Chain A
Amino acid sequence: MRNYSCTARFLVFVSLTVLLACNKTITNVNSDIPPLNPANEDLNAGTWKLVLLSRPDTFAVAAPAATGSPAYTADLNAIKGYQHNLTGGQRGQIQYWSAGGVLRWNEIMRGLVTKYNLPPYQLPTGTYPIPSSTNPFAYPLFPFSNPPYAARAYAYVSAAQYDALVACWHYKTLYNRPAPYEVDSTVQALAGKTSLPSYPSEGAVLAGVTSEMMQLLFPDEIASIQEKLQQQEFSLIASGAAAPSDVTAGEALGRQVADAFIARGRADNAGKAVGTPTIWASFVTTAQANGQTAWVSLETPARPPMLPLFGQVKGFLLDSADVVSLRPGPPPSTSGDSMQQQVQQALATVKNATRAQLSQVQFWADGAGTWTPPGHWNYIAAQDFITQNWSEVRWARNMALLNMAEMDAAIECWYIKYYYFNPRPTQMDPIIRTLTGVPNFPSYVSGHSMFSAAAAAILGHILPSRAQAYLSMAQDAANSRIFAGIHYNVDCEVGMTVGQNVGNYAVQRAISDGAE
Chain B
Amino acid sequence: MLAVLALTLMGCGLRAQTDDDAVMMAKNNLCIGGMYSHSAWDYYWEGTYHRNNLNLGTVTTRMVGLMGIYGITRRLAIVANAPYVWTDASAGVLHGMHGIQDLSGWLKWEAYRQKIGSRGKLSLFAAVGGSVPLTNYLADYLPLSIGLHSRTVSGRIIADYQLGRFFATATGTYTWRSNITIDQQSYYTTEFIESNKVYMPNQETYIVRSGYRSNRLIVEAMLSGMVTLGGFDIRKNDMPFPSNRMDATMAGAHAKYEFQSKPLKGLSLTADGSYTVAGRNVGQSKMFGAGIFYIFDFARKGKTSETPTLKSN
Interface residues of A (CB under 8 A from B): 1, 4, 7-8, 11-12, 15, 18-19, 22, 24-30, 107, 110-112, 114-115, 118-121, 139, 298-301, 350, 355, 358-359, 362-363, 365, 368-371, 376, 379, 426, 432-435, 437-438, 485
User: Is B235 a contact partner of A299 (Cβ separation < 8 A)?
Assistant: no
Instruction: Kindly identify which residue among A15, A29, A107 contacts B128, using a CB–CB cutoff of 8 Å.
Output: A15
User: Is B237 a contact partner of A363 (Cβ separation < 8 A)?
Assistant: no
Apart from A7-B76, A300-B91, A368-B239, what 17 extra A-B contacts exist at CB < 8 Å? A4-B76, A8-B109, A15-B153, A26-B179, A26-B195, A26-B197, A29-B194, A30-B194, A110-B192, A121-B236, A358-B138, A358-B183, A359-B183, A362-B140, A363-B185, A365-B184, A433-B93
Assuming the contacts A355-B136, A371-B186, asked whether A22 and B178 have C-beta atoms less than 8 A apart, the reply is yes
Q: Min CB distance, B190 to chain A, in Å? A: 10
Residues 211-263 (chain B) with a chain A CB within 8 angstroms: 235-239
User: Is A114 a contact partner of B186 (Cβ separation < 8 A)?
Assistant: yes
Residue of A nearest to B201 (CB): A24
Alpha-carbon distance A237/B136, docked complex (angstroms): 49
Complex contacts, B155 vs chain A, CB 8 Å = 12, 15
Alpha-carbon distance A12/B129, docked complex (angstroms): 10
Alpha-carbon distance A368/B199, docked complex (angstroms): 21
Alpha-carbon distance A95/B176, docked complex (angstroms): 34
What would be 14 A-B contacts, judged by CB atoms less than 8 Å apart?
Answer: A4-B109, A15-B155, A26-B195, A29-B195, A110-B186, A301-B54, A362-B182, A363-B183, A368-B239, A370-B186, A379-B185, A433-B96, A434-B93, A438-B93
Assuming the contacts A300-B92, A362-B141, A369-B238, asked whether A12 and B128 have C-beta atoms less than 8 A apart, the reply is yes
Complex contacts, A111 vs chain B, CB 8 Å = 188, 191-192
User: Is B128 a contact partner of A362 (Cβ separation < 8 A)?
Assistant: no
Q: Min CB distance, B109 to chain A, in Å? A: 6
User: Is A18 a contact partner of B153 (Cβ separation < 8 A)?
Assistant: yes
User: Is B183 a contact partner of A8 (Cβ separation < 8 A)?
Assistant: no
Instruction: Kindly identify which residue among B55, B179, B199 contacts A300, using a CB–CB cutoff of 8 Å.
Output: B55
Q: Min CB distance, A459 to chain B, in Å? A: 16
User: Is A25 a contact partner of B199 (Cβ separation < 8 A)?
Assistant: yes
User: Is A369 a contact partner of B239 (Cβ separation < 8 A)?
Assistant: yes
Residue of A nearest to B189 (CB): A26
User: Is B95 a contact partner of A435 (Cβ separation < 8 A)?
Assistant: yes
> Which 4 A-B residue pairs are closest in the complex by CB-CB distance?
A111-B192, A362-B183, A433-B95, A300-B54
Complex contacts, A369 vs chain B, CB 8 Å = 187-188, 238-239
Instruction: Kindly identify which residue among B55, B73, B76, B136 contacts A299, using a CB–CB cutoff of 8 Å.
Output: B55
Does any Cβ of A come within 8 Å of B107's Cβ?
yes
Alpha-carbon distance A112/B191, docked complex (angstroms): 9
User: Is B176 a contact partner of A19 (Cβ separation < 8 A)?
Assistant: yes
Annotate B73-98 by CB proximity to A: 1 below 8 A, 0 otherwise. Answer: 10110000000000000011111100
User: Is A26 a contact partner of B199 (Cβ separation < 8 A)?
Assistant: yes
Complex contacts, B141 vs chain A, CB 8 Å = 362
Complex contacts, B238 vs chain A, CB 8 Å = 118, 368-369
User: Is A4 a contact partner of B179 (Cβ separation < 8 A)?
Assistant: no
Alpha-carbon distance A29/B275, docked complex (angstroms): 42
Alpha-carbon distance A379/B237, docked complex (angstroms): 26
Does any Cβ of A come within 8 Å of B277's Cβ?
no
Does any Cβ of A come within 8 Å of B200's Cβ?
yes
Complex contacts, A355 vs chain B, CB 8 Å = 136
Alpha-carbon distance A499/B109, docked complex (angstroms): 64
User: Is A28 a contact partner of B93 (Cβ separation < 8 A)?
Assistant: no
Q: Min CB distance, B140 to chain A, in Å? A: 7
Does any Cβ of A come within 8 Å of B159's Cβ?
no
Complex contacts, B191 vs chain A, CB 8 Å = 111
Residue of A nearest to B57 (CB): A300
Q: Min CB distance, B92 to chain A, in Å? A: 7
User: Is A4 a contact partner of B195 (Cβ separation < 8 A)?
Assistant: no
Does any Cβ of A come within 8 Å of B126's Cβ?
yes
Does any Cβ of A come within 8 Å of B198's Cβ?
yes
Complex contacts, B192 vs chain A, CB 8 Å = 110-112, 114-115
Alpha-carbon distance A120/B199, docked complex (angstroms): 27
Does any Cβ of A come within 8 Å of B116's Cβ?
no
Residue of A nearest to B192 (CB): A111
Alpha-carbon distance A370/B185, docked complex (angstroms): 10
Does any Cβ of A come within 8 Å of B134's Cβ?
no
Complex contacts, A118 vs chain B, CB 8 Å = 235-238
User: Is B186 a contact partner of A379 (Cβ separation < 8 A)?
Assistant: yes
User: Is A4 a contact partner of B73 (Cβ separation < 8 A)?
Assistant: yes
Q: Min CB distance, B189 to chain A, in Å? A: 9
Q: Min CB distance, B13 to chain A, in Å? A: 26
Alpha-carbon distance A363/B275, docked complex (angstroms): 35
User: Is B54 a contact partner of A24 (Cβ separation < 8 A)?
Assistant: no
Alpha-carbon distance A483/B236, docked complex (angstroms): 29
Assuming the contacts A26-B197, A300-B54, asked whether A434 and B95 have C-beta atoms less than 8 A apart, the reply is yes
Residue of B nearest to A382 (CB): B194
Complex contacts, A15 vs chain B, CB 8 Å = 128, 153, 155, 176
Q: Min CB distance, B74 to chain A, in Å? A: 11
Q: Taking each of B126, B179, B186, which has the highest tally of chain A beta carbons within 10 Å of its own beta carbon?
A: B186
Alpha-carbon distance A376/B186, docked complex (angstroms): 9
Complex contacts, B182 vs chain A, CB 8 Å = 362
Complex contacts, A110 vs chain B, CB 8 Å = 186, 192, 194
Alpha-carbon distance A299/B94, docked complex (angstroms): 11
Q: Min CB distance, A442 to chain B, in Å? A: 15
Complex contacts, B199 vs chain A, CB 8 Å = 24-26
Alpha-carbon distance A164/B42, docked complex (angstroms): 53
Complex contacts, A438 vs chain B, CB 8 Å = 93
Q: Min CB distance, A366 to chain B, in Å? A: 8
Complex contacts, A301 vs chain B, CB 8 Å = 54
Alpha-carbon distance A27/B196, docked complex (angstroms): 10
Alpha-carbon distance A123/B12, docked complex (angstroms): 38
Alpha-carbon distance A25/B235, docked complex (angstroms): 23
Assuming the contacts A4-B76, A8-B109, A15-B128, asked whether A362 and B184 have C-beta atoms less than 8 A apart, the reply is yes
Complex contacts, B176 vs chain A, CB 8 Å = 15, 18-19
Complex contacts, A120 vs chain B, CB 8 Å = 237
Complex contacts, B95 vs chain A, CB 8 Å = 350, 433-435, 485
Alpha-carbon distance A119/B179, docked complex (angstroms): 29
Residue of B nearest to A15 (CB): B153
Q: Min CB distance, B49 to chain A, in Å? A: 9
Residues 109-139 (chain B) with a chain A CB within 8 angstroms: 109, 111, 126, 128, 136, 138
Complex contacts, B235 vs chain A, CB 8 Å = 118
Q: Min CB distance, B1 to chain A, in Å? A: 14
Q: Min CB distance, A476 to chain B, in Å? A: 12
User: Is A119 a contact partner of B237 (Cβ separation < 8 A)?
Assistant: yes
Residues 152-188 (chain B) with a chain A CB within 8 angstroms: 153, 155, 176, 178-179, 182-188
Alpha-carbon distance A435/B197, docked complex (angstroms): 21
User: Is B93 a contact partner of A437 (Cβ separation < 8 A)?
Assistant: yes
User: Is A121 a contact partner of B237 (Cβ separation < 8 A)?
Assistant: yes
Alpha-carbon distance A139/B128, docked complex (angstroms): 47
Alpha-carbon distance A119/B239, docked complex (angstroms): 11
Complex contacts, B91 vs chain A, CB 8 Å = 300
Complex contacts, A485 vs chain B, CB 8 Å = 95
User: Is A28 a contact partner of B194 (Cβ separation < 8 A)?
Assistant: yes
Q: Min CB distance, B187 to chain A, in Å? A: 7
Residue of B nearest to A299 (CB): B55
User: Is B193 a contact partner of A28 (Cβ separation < 8 A)?
Assistant: yes
Instruction: Kindly identify which residue among A24, A299, A300 contacts B200, using a CB–CB cutoff of 8 Å.
Output: A24
Q: Min CB distance, A182 to chain B, in Å? A: 35
Q: Min CB distance, A1 to chain B, in Å? A: 8
Alpha-carbon distance A4/B76, docked complex (angstroms): 8
